[in-house]
Structures are given as C-alpha cells and as structure tokens.
Homo-oligomer: A and B are copies of this chain.
Amino acid sequence: MSETDLPAPPWDRNRRRPAPAKVPLTRERIVDAAFTVLDREGYDRFSMRQVALELGVAVSALYVHVANKDELFELMYNRTFDGAELPDPDPENWQEQIKEFARRGRARLRSHRDLARISMGHVPFSPELLPHVERLMAIFRSSGMPDLVAAMAGDLLSTYIEGFCLEESMWLERYRDMDEATWETKRNEIMGYFAELPPDRFPNMVAMAPYMVDESNDYRFELGVDILVRGLASYIGRASGSAGSAAP
C-alpha cells in the first residue's frame, strides 16, 4: 500500500491529475463503452464525449485509438459480427439456410439499440467481414442460381434485413417510453385512422387496414424473406437472368 492510495491533499488537488487508469485504453474497451452509451442514450444522443465520460477519460484520448466517430461506428459494426457463423452449404436446403441467415441478421441488428441506423449504408467488405460474405455466397451458389443473381442476392437480402430493422427500430424508439396501455390505445388510433379513411377515395387502404398494422413484425419479416427467396428460386435452372417476365 503505497501513499498513492491516499487521497491527494486538498492544496494540490488542482496540480495532481487522477491516477492513470490501471486498465490501459484500447480499441476494444472504447467499443465496449460505445455500446454502453448507445444502449443508454440512443443514436441521436450518442457522442464522443459520452463515450469518454463512460470510460472516465478525456475526449481527446479516444482520438489516439480511433480516427473519428465514423471509424468508431465501423468498429462497432464489425463487432456485431463476432461469433456469427454460417453453415456449410447444403444444396438441398439452401432456402432454409438463407432464411436462417436472415433471422440471425435481424437478431444481430436488434441486439443493440439503434444498431440498424449504424449498419445502414455499411458495405461488409472489410477484411474482418469478407469471410462471412464468402460463406453466404457459397450457399447462394450451391443452389444453382446464376452467379449474377447470386451476387445480387447478397445485396438484396442485406438491404431487406437492414431496411426492415431500421423501420422496426424507428417504431420501437417512438414508443420507447410508453406503457402497454397507452401503446394499445395508440395502436387502435392508427388502425382507426386507416379504417376510417373515406372509402370512396381510399378503397384499398381501407380494405387492407388490418394487414397494415395488425400483423406481428416476426411474421411480416418472415413473409418478406419468403418473397425474396421465391424470387431467387425462380432463377434456378433457366437461362441466366434477363429481365424476362415472371413465374410459372
């Protein structure tokens, strides 16, 4: 027990600095803290200052390890893929494999508040993420679809997952601090809004009001994935993809 354990005498409180962190600052620790802040504050209130505060460190210290806010977001984005694994391709079963990939993608994007906002527009071509893309492509190609379609499929699926989760998270944020009861009333308001539109001008909206709000997000997500997978499947065993007309 050296004297450094004692509190600094009041007269030189200003001269002394706080003891240097026992744990050195690293990118890993910064990313950890960043997630803590994101979960607590959300995307809009996320700031470098909050992250520094969380670590008990000056803001400028962060910039020694991280070039800027964007790079920090990219590190966070990469981090969310830790432990994500894709199975070996099984040509008989590619559709289910793709659907499972989509489900896990959604789960990943829901694992932190507003994560979808950070993910949006990130292309997963960093060295850390390439193996994931490789394995996804393996599954697509094993299905027998043309390479051009497979290349598009990856984009298409990722766009869908991210877009869906973004929209989902916006609703979640909007109703974040609402108890079950007020949320129930709010939902009825929305349903009512659609149902009570003038039926002469909005016949289709009125007819579809139940489906616009009522279906659970899980089911909607699954349906979307199914539509995509069916579209992809329609390209198997044909001439490669010109924009010809559709199905059976």
Using a CB–CB distance below 8 Å, which chain A residues touch chain B?
Answer: 95, 99, 120-121, 123, 130-131, 133-134, 137-138, 141, 147-153, 155-156, 159-160, 162-164, 166-167, 170, 197, 201-205, 207-208, 211-212, 215, 220, 222-236, 241, 243-248
9 sampled A-B residue pairs with Cβ under 8 A: A141-B207, A149-B223, A155-B167, A155-B220, A159-B159, A160-B160, A226-B246, A227-B235, A230-B247
Q: Is the CB of B163 within 8 A of A224?
A: no
Q: Is the CB of B121 within 8 A of A156?
A: no
Q: Is the CB of A211 within 8 A of B147?
A: yes
Q: Is the CB of B224 within 8 A of A155?
A: yes
Contacting residues, chain B, for A147 (C-beta < 8 A): 207-208, 211
Shortest beta-carbon contacts, A-B, top 6: A231-B231, A159-B163, A227-B231, A233-B246, A151-B211, A137-B204
Number of copies of this chain that the complex holds: 2
- Docked pose: A131 CA to B166 CA in angstroms: 24
Given contacts A137-B205, A138-B204, A230-B231, contact A224 B166 (CB under 8 A): no
A87 to B: closest C-beta gap in Å: 15
Q: Is the CB of A95 within 8 A of B149?
A: no
Partner of A247, one of B167, B205, B208, B248: B248
Partner of A166, one of B120, B241, B245: B120
Given contacts A121-B170, A222-B243, contact A149 B227 (CB under 8 A): yes
Contacting residues, chain B, for A233 (C-beta < 8 A): 246-247
Contacting residues, chain B, for A226 (C-beta < 8 A): 231, 241, 243-244, 246
- Docked pose: A138 CA to B202 CA in angstroms: 9
Given contacts A228-B231, A230-B231, A235-B227, contact A205 B159 (CB under 8 A): no
Q: Is the CB of A159 within 8 A of B160?
A: yes
Known pairs A120-B120, A226-B244; list 16 more (Cβ under 8 Å): A120-B166, A123-B170, A141-B204, A148-B211, A149-B227, A150-B208, A151-B215, A152-B224, A156-B160, A156-B224, A156-B227, A227-B231, A227-B234, A229-B246, A230-B246, A234-B248
